[in-house]
Amino acid sequence: MQSFDFILFGATGDLAMRKIFPSLYQAYIDGFLPPIGKMIATGRSSLSTEQFIEKLNNNSKIHIKNCDDKKWEEFIHNINYLSINLNETKDFDLLKGKIDNKSQNIVIYFSISPEFFIKACENLTLVGLNDDRVKIILEKPLGMDLKSCQAINNEIAKYYKEKQIYRIDHYLGKESIQNLLILRAFNPIFTSLWEKEHVDYVEISVFETLGVEGRGEFYDNTGALRDMIQNHILQILSLVAMKIPKKLDAESIRSAKLSLLKSLKPLSDEDIKNNVIRAQYDKSGEFKSYLAEDNIKENSQTETFVAIKAELLDDNWKGVPFYIRTGKRMADSFAQIIVYFKNKEDLNSSPNKLIIRLQPENQISLNLKVKKIGKTMDYEENNLILNLNSTLAMQPYERLILDVIEGNQASFNHKEELETAWAWVDPILKNWQENKTPLYYYIAGSWGPKEAFDLIRRDKHEWHNC
């Protein structure tokens, strides 16, 4: 098995400590991680390797369930720390000096603010760390709108080829999302029903009970539309509705997703007025209002909740509404996809539903009507449940980092996907910036604003809250 070198920019940050190092450790003890040549953690902090390891022991190890102390010591033995100023080329000379020239597989993870991506790429190129051996992982958000996303993509393309770039979205590494394509491709019961003739509507929800949790400055400049809808939820929507390609390889999957995203019906100001709801949480009991959170601008109009009725121009889905929503400080935390199948006109009962749970559990269930037990012909609802919470299931970051090492781009965003998503979202952002539609409010710890319920009930549908 070929060894690899791993370079992490932003190694002292929260994401690195909570997700990246625990995922690398898990891959190591699972036996999936190839032999490590060099593992170089970099950051702005002036730390020795010993001081950085102490930081890992205090801030990263705690996020690993059932950590084996002996294996952990073996794992961290491979790590070296290097203090780097991303604007200083001489620091990159030091980095290059720590990489073996014979290394054939070099993974560089950018767990840093996107504003530093371009300068880091430029300096990596100046020291020769951009040849075909190198793959780079880019964390979101990639831009704040279409123009800034294109600018980042175009600049990075000066230094790295598209096949070297891995734009990571951890939702695409979740077990139930990975299962979605298999479920659709290899089960004729769903393959034959997955179209407008049989599907009434689709719901995608991502809710959090948490508020901004100390990320006020970041969140106030971002908001729910950019943070969740533009990347995570539109990626999920594309996997739900795209045509299943003949081959489930990276090129075919990414092409199918892009085609689907291009079929999103553009939103006019009138569409936004009727089909897009933005809201912000207000105080309730122990919960502060959004405006009372730390580092939030006075009278901020930043949304913490969004609900949208989206439509596709794709022939397979024309006329089928896709209701998407996301919110912070909600009544419960979950992420789920629900496909509602059509009833025949002579049946006065609730529809069959396929429920795909992404979190907190990975689970797929099919809601069915079954006969009640006993001397009756009455029916009741019950679920066929496929539990994907196996001890063998990988955490999203573990799976995705291993995919990068192996050169598999199937679960990563192509630049055209992101730009197409931004092109659809941009009119909403412009509409809000011009205050053409109102900002609503909802009680912290609730299911969201009344207007989001009105949006879906207008079509005689209901949100599935659980």
Burial 327-356 (b: 16+ CB within 10 A, else e): bbbbeeebbbbbbbbbeeeeeeeebbbbbb
Question: Whole-angstrom Cα distance, residue 345 to residue 69?
Answer: 62
Residue 198 known to be catalytic: no
Structure tokens at 247: 């081959």
Structure tokens at 98: 């720590």
Which region holds residue 409: left if phi is over 0, alpha if psi is between -120 and 50, else beta? alpha
Residue 414 annotated as part of some ligand binding site: no
* Cβ(42)–Cβ(12) below 8 Å: no
Closest to 427 measured CA to CA, from 233, 265, 229, 269: 269
Which region holds residue 237: left if phi is over 0, alpha if psi is between -120 and 50, else beta? alpha
Q: Percentage helix, strand, coil, to 5, in the chain?
A: 40, 20, 40
Q: Residue 284 pairs with which residues in a beta bridge?
A: 287
Question: Whole-angstrom Cα distance, residue 287 to residue 305?
Answer: 16
Closest to 133 measured CA to CA, from 107, 172, 162: 107
Phi and psi angles of residue 70, each rounded to the nearest 5 degrees, phi first: -65, -45
Residue 133 annotated as part of some ligand binding site: no
Residue 170 annotated as part of some ligand binding site: yes
Residue 139 annotated as part of some ligand binding site: no
Map residue 458 onto helix, strand or coil: coil
Residue 344 annotated as part of some ligand binding site: no
Residue 297 annotated as part of some ligand binding site: no
Residue 464 annotated as part of some ligand binding site: no
* Catalytic, out of 232, 414, 461, 464: 232
How far CA 17 is from CA of 8, 36, 56, 142, 286, in Å, comes to: 11, 19, 7, 21, 29
Q: Which residues are annotated as a binding site for NADP(+)?
A: 44, 140
Q: Which residues are annotated as a binding site?
A: 44, 140, 170, 174, 208, 227, 328
Q: Which residues are catalytic?
A: 232
Q: Which residues are annotated as a binding site for substrate?
A: 170, 174, 208, 227, 328
